Amino acid sequence: MSLTNEGARRLSRKNPRLRKPHLYAIGATVTVSVLAAAALAGPGTGTGHAGSHVDAPSAILNPDVNGADLFAFTSPDNPDMVTLAVTYNPITLPQAGGVLPPALFGKNTRYDINVDSSGDGKPDLTYRWTFDTEDKRIAGIAQAKGHVNTLDDKDLLLRQRYTLQELRPGKAAKTLVNQKIAAPTRAGLVSMPDYGRLMRQATYPLPGGGKTYAGQASDPFFIDVRHFAMLKLGVDVPVPVNPLIFSNVNVMSVQVPKKQLALKGDPGRNPVAGVWASAARKSLNVQGGKPKWVQVSRVGQSFFNEGLSPDGFLQPGGLLVGLPGGVADQFNARRPQDDHRWKPINDMVRKPGGPHLVNLFHFLTTPPPKQPRDDLWQILMKGVGKGNGPVKQDLNAHALNRDASPSALRPAEMLRLNMSVPPSAKPKLEGWLEGDRAGFPNGRRFTDDATLIFSRIILGEPAGKGHPELYRFSLARGPVPGVAASFPYVAEPRALP
């Protein structure tokens, strides 16, 4: 914590309640350390919830629709293709012998990855997964009764099949794969010794080119909790690094030609695509009639809801995971096309509280950027373009699409990818802020330290000087284990004997 005796005395004279700032630092250390421990522990179901993988109270009770992370990047080994991936069921503990309940994809659930190529906040393309479950377990325990070597192995007692559809407005749904078997929850090193083989079997070709994978993986998300604490509490405290290092996730991913995502199928003229993921469940109609599908989860740019919601995770004055029914919960039910009309999202982007907390507990040495934050509105809601905000670069704004109608463009929260930017031979951890234009927030790769990049942007970069000195030291240097060389790029899920 940056603190001088004279600075502390000046601040304490202005605010008597802060005359013992070291007590706050101690309390913050304990709080964040407990947070890190909780991320590793989890309840008896085998799934824990903490860190940046929880952005709203409702997510705790619904891990199978708790959208953790979204990724979009030009495939490094096939630069004519784009890879889209989303993870659910975060912080799933490794299994031994398949005794713990498995982390399943939800039934009666629609998982969507949405693509907006025109910039109006509406999906021009949706990839939709739906799952069915085959359960032959005895008394609901033990996924496998022997060594599982193939997805259709008779020793695998619990498996899920899925259908993947391509949806476009005004067109009939196109089925890309039908009733394919997803890679199962890894039941342990003994039961599933060669999970890499199962992952290869669960990677299916798509008509017209491309591939898809659905199954479990080692969680590619990594974080130095110190950076999280800096933005949410205002202090830098010694805490365990990357508490999610032992956890797994469920992942759905597709690799498709760039023309599939581009406006009018032309990535040369229209290279920018916006991406977000959502999950929906059927609601019960107590008055009769057909049940309706209701969106219950939404994920776009990393850390957006967690880092900016006024009642969000660890926000002073709120509960640990926000207020039920508050802004964080509401965000998960809203659509990007309505963002520009929603006052809470306007306030949380243009008037973020994190920089003021950092300023307060670094004793006036880190003045926050002036509000309203037009730079954040540009970066997070419109994409970066020379003519649409204070950052004078052309990076990932939909306005860069030549065939996009300027009158139709709408500010909306989503992950934007400029497909004309080639993949980096040596990706840099801090992406765009280190001059690597192929990194977050221009899409997101598995190797991007998205939480760190997001935090630095919130503190003013690159429109202003910011405070990069606060983030110089970190032991979180990438996903552990590392990224695979080919699709689906994620590593095998962790397991115990």
Nearest to 260 by CA among 34, 402, 417: 417
Tell whether omega for the bond before 441 is within 30 degrees of 0, i.e. cis: yes
Sheet bearing 211-218, strands edge to edge: 69-74, 81-92, 248-257, 211-218, 203-205
Length of the chain: 497
Does residue 103 contact residue 46 with C-beta atoms inside 8 Å? yes
Percentage of residues of the chain with pLDDT beyond 90 = 64
In order of 111, 166, 301, 396, the CA distances from 260 in angstroms are 19, 10, 21, 18
- The more confidently predicted of residues 33 and 226 is 226
User: Which pLDDT belongs to residue 365?
Assistant: 76
Does residue 202 contact residue 169 with C-beta atoms inside 8 Å? no
For the stretch 185-215, pLDDT in tens is 999 999 999 999 999 999 999 999 999 999 9
Work out the number of other CB atoms within 10 angstroms of the CB of residue 389: 20
Nearest to 117 by CA among 83, 168, 73, 69: 168
Percentage of residues of the chain with pLDDT beyond 70 = 83
- The answer on pLDDT for 52 being more than 80 is no
- Dist CA 54 CA 91 (whole Å): 10
For the stretch 114-144, pLDDT in tens is 999 999 999 999 999 999 999 999 887 888 8
Nearest to 72 by CA among 334, 363, 299, 325: 299
Q: Token digits for 163?
A: 């259908």
For the stretch 145-189, pLDDT in tens is 889 999 999 999 999 999 999 999 999 999 999 999 999 999 999
3-class DSSP state for residue 404?
coil
For the stretch 268-306, pLDDT in tens is 999 999 999 999 998 766 666 788 899 999 999 988 988
- The answer on pLDDT for 486 being more than 70 is yes
Does residue 276 contact residue 112 with C-beta atoms inside 8 Å? no
User: Which pLDDT belongs to residue 119?
Assistant: 98
At residue 157, φ and ψ (nearest 5 deg) are -90, -10
